Amino acid sequence: MSDVIYLDNAATTAVDPRVVEAMLECLGPSADYANPSSVGHLPGRRARARVEQARADVAALVGADPSQVIFTSGATEADNLAILGAARFYRERGRHVVTSRTEHPAVLDACRQLEREGFEVAYLKPGPDGIVEPAQVEAALRSDTLLVSLMHVNNEIGVAQDVGAVGRLCRERGVLFHVDAAQGAGKLPLDVNRDCIDLLALTAHKVHGPKGVGALCVRREPRLGLVPMLHGGGQERGLRSGTLATHQVVGLGTALRIAAAEMQADAARIGALRERLWRGLAALPGALLNGHPSRRVPGILSVTFDGVEGVSLLYALPGFAVSSGSACATTSGEPSYVLRALGRSDRLAQSTLRLSLGRFNTEAEVERAIEAITDAVMRLRSVAPGQGG
Amino acid sequence: MTGDDPRYGAEVCRRMASLAGAGRFAPAPDIATGLAGNREQGAEVELSCRIAGGQVMEARFQAFGCPHFLAAASWLTDRLRGARREEIADWDWREAAEALEVPAAKFGRLLTLQDAVRSVVRNWPGTLGSTV
């Protein structure tokens, strides 16, 4: 991909070489490849030590105790375990769930499954800036509300919710609070205790770790119950059976440890790149920023280019890896439900690019992106109806 | 525009690279125009054709839509050149679909082009509103 400028870090990121190195130490005949559950022998105990170090790294990032961390295959599994697991465990306590319309499908589809199981779900509509106000959550709570699920950072527009305010509200009302932190963990500060988060899902591959591994932080004091989705060897305190993939878990832990150590510097540098990108693109007439201008994660920029069809715009940028505002540009081309929830029309939603920056992007890449996108937008607009002769 | 996306055939890539035929003729007695589609539905096109001696001397397009649609509009400007009114009255979108290897999911967009051609036929100089 050396000839392509990668601006799709919200989809996934390149694995940091330091993470690769740590993972390789758990693969191969002379590495710590043993089953971390086989603590009856030295190789097993070495693998277990690596797993527990990773658990501590994950916990440290979000102010949790290592005993709260359950390793999963990623944020999707963690979200499902949190939402389905908690709702099924406490179903006699209440059958009402509150979430928002702009959640990731991992949350929305889990909520739809709960609806099929007899739960009632309230889907809050964010404001035009993508923010779900704590007052909206408060207004939606009922005496039988069991769970509130709200994402930390939106994957399409990068807006960050005030999860602390919502968490404290939920804690006061005795309602469980789940946060999908797939896009925010490692990029913005999070603390499960300060922010009163009972269940927090995160993943490795959005922060320069490997795909296929994530974690769920589960409140321990008082102990929170979950119905597991996988049954088997009883790993992860019986909540997630299956042999732990030591190299993946170590990749997660290393990626998050690096993210924690470099969060401030990365946020400043990547945030500056995003601002330069936006300033460059904002010079185009009809360029609209999606989402709140300041309450956002450093790396994600969603821009609508009025008068330009999104799939053609993507086509016109062959040297760049970016995403469109369509849910699936390759098939139906349905406009993004997130942008529609913000009040964008179908036409504007389909005229949108998501540009997401990561640790390895450079100023030169941003300058090239500004130039290429500007050229493509101008060219496509020049052939659109209503442009004169 | 030099995309090498395997979802697009060679003719689409070639047309997207040049967008040959883009533009429009200013309104004049010898110009027939055809409008179809709208941006809310993701495809809008305006064809304008200069007519002389009962045939299309030159055609141009302006379009908003996906690469298949833009490429088909460009292709259509070549297809219309030299055609007489009665020859294009029944023009069928499938001809463009075949020429540009357009996938079935995009066939609806090509119907918009067919509507634009029909509109050109209706607006043919000297025969406004008449049928072929």
Per-residue pLDDT tens digits for A71-95? 999 999 999 999 999 999 999 999 9
Right CATH number for A5-10+262-382 from 3.90.950.20, 1.10.1760.20, 2.40.37.10, 3.90.1150.10? 3.90.1150.10
The tokens describing A34, both together, are: 């043993």
The tokens describing A205, both together, are: 């591959």
Do residues A302 and A335 make contact, with C-beta atoms less than 8 angstroms apart?
A: no
Instruction: Tell me if chain B has a CB within 8 Å of the CB of A2.
Output: no
A346 vs B contacts (CB less than 8 Å): 40, 42
Q: Across residues A59-80, what is the average pLDDT?
A: 98
Which phi and psi (to 5°) does residue A165 adopt?
-65, -40
- pLDDT category at B127 given cuts 50, 70, 90 is confident
Of B8, B19, B42, which is closest to A309 when you measure between CB atoms?
A: B42
Of B7, B8, B22, which is closest to A383 when you measure between CB atoms?
A: B22
Do residues A213 and A188 make contact, with C-beta atoms less than 8 angstroms apart?
A: no
pLDDT confidence of residue B76: 97
**How far is Cα A386 from Cα B45, in angstroms, rounded to an integer?**
10
Would you call B42 and A345 a contact, using CB atoms and an 8 Å cutoff? no
Instruction: Tell me if chain B has a CB within 8 Å of the CB of A382.
Output: yes
Per-residue pLDDT tens digits for B17-52? 999 999 999 999 999 999 999 988 889 999 999 999
Using CA coordinates, name the residue in chain B closest to A389. Answer: B24
Name which of A199, A197, A241 is nearest A83 in CA terms: A199
pLDDT confidence of residue A36: 97
pLDDT confidence of residue A331: 46
Q: What is the DSSP letter of A129?
A: T
Q: Number of residue pairs across A and B with CB atoms under 8 Å?
A: 70
- Say how far residue A122 (Cα) sits from the centre of its chain: 21
Total residue count of chain A as it appears in this document: 389
**How far is Cα A182 from Cα A141, in angstroms, rounded to an integer?**
25
Q: What predicted TM-score, i.e. pTM, was given to this entire model?
A: 0.93
Name which of A52, A25, A26 is nearest A37 in CA terms: A52
Would you call A385 and B63 a contact, using CB atoms and an 8 Å cutoff? yes
pLDDT confidence of residue B105: 87
pLDDT confidence of residue B75: 97
- pLDDT category at B95 given cuts 50, 70, 90 is very high
The shortest C-alpha distance from B85 to chain A (Å) reads 23
Q: Which residues pair with B46 in a beta bridge?
A: B35, B62
pLDDT surpassing 70 at residue A333: no
Which phi and psi (to 5°) does residue A160 adopt?
-105, 130
How large a percentage of chain A has pLDDT more than 70?
97
Q: Do domains A5-10+262-382 and A17-258 have the same CATH topology?
A: no
Do residues A185 and A135 make contact, with C-beta atoms less than 8 angstroms apart?
A: no
pLDDT surpassing 80 at residue A387: no
Buried-exposed string A32-54: b where 16+ CB fall within 10 A, e elsewhere: bbbbbeeeeeeebebbbebbebb
Q: Across residues A188-197, what is the average pLDDT?
A: 98
Cα-only R_g, chain B: 14
Average pLDDT of chain A is 95
Residue spans per domain, chain A:
5-10+262-382, 17-258
Would you call A383 and B4 a contact, using CB atoms and an 8 Å cutoff? no
Catalytic residues of A: 328
Do residues A251 and A203 make contact, with C-beta atoms less than 8 angstroms apart?
A: no
pLDDT surpassing 50 at residue A328: no
Instruction: Tell me if chain B has a CB within 8 Å of the CB of A286.
Output: no
Per-residue pLDDT tens digits for A339-355? 999 999 988 998 999 99
Do residues A57 and A257 make contact, with C-beta atoms less than 8 angstroms apart?
A: yes
Q: Across residues A31-58, what is the average pLDDT?
A: 97
**How far is Cα A6 from Cα A355, in angstroms, rounded to an integer?**
9
How far, CA to CA in Å, does A252 sit from each of A13, A26, A66, A245, A272? Answer: 13, 13, 14, 11, 26
Name which of B56, B66, B11 is nearest B31 in CA terms: B56
**Would you call A60 helix, strand, or coil by DSSP?**
helix
The shortest C-alpha distance from A186 to chain B (Å) reads 34
B45 vs A contacts (CB less than 8 Å): 385
Instruction: Tell me if chain B has a CB within 8 Å of the CB of A4.
Output: no
Spatial neighbors of A324 by CB under 8 A, at least 6 apart, are A310, A311, A313, A314, A350, A352, A353, A354
**Would you call A76 helix, strand, or coil by DSSP?**
helix
Q: Across residues B69-80, what is the average pLDDT?
A: 97
Per-residue pLDDT tens digits for A136-149? 999 999 999 999 99
Would you call B63 and A384 a contact, using CB atoms and an 8 Å cutoff? yes
State which fold the B10-122 domain adopts: Sufe protein. Chain: A (3.90.1010)
**How far is Cα A324 from Cα A10, in angstroms, rounded to an integer?**
12
Would you call A312 and B70 a contact, using CB atoms and an 8 Å cutoff? yes
The tokens describing A53, both together, are: 């170090």
N- to C-terminal Cα separation, chain A: 40
* Domain A17-258: top CATH class: alpha beta
Q: Across residues A96-111, what is the average pLDDT?
A: 98
What is the CA angle A365-A368-A369, rounded to 5? Answer: 85
Using CA coordinates, name the residue in chain B closest to A332. Answer: B105
Per-residue pLDDT tens digits for A269-279? 999 999 999 99
pLDDT confidence of residue A79: 98
Would you call A385 and B26 a contact, using CB atoms and an 8 Å cutoff? no
- pLDDT category at B126 given cuts 50, 70, 90 is confident
pLDDT confidence of residue B13: 95
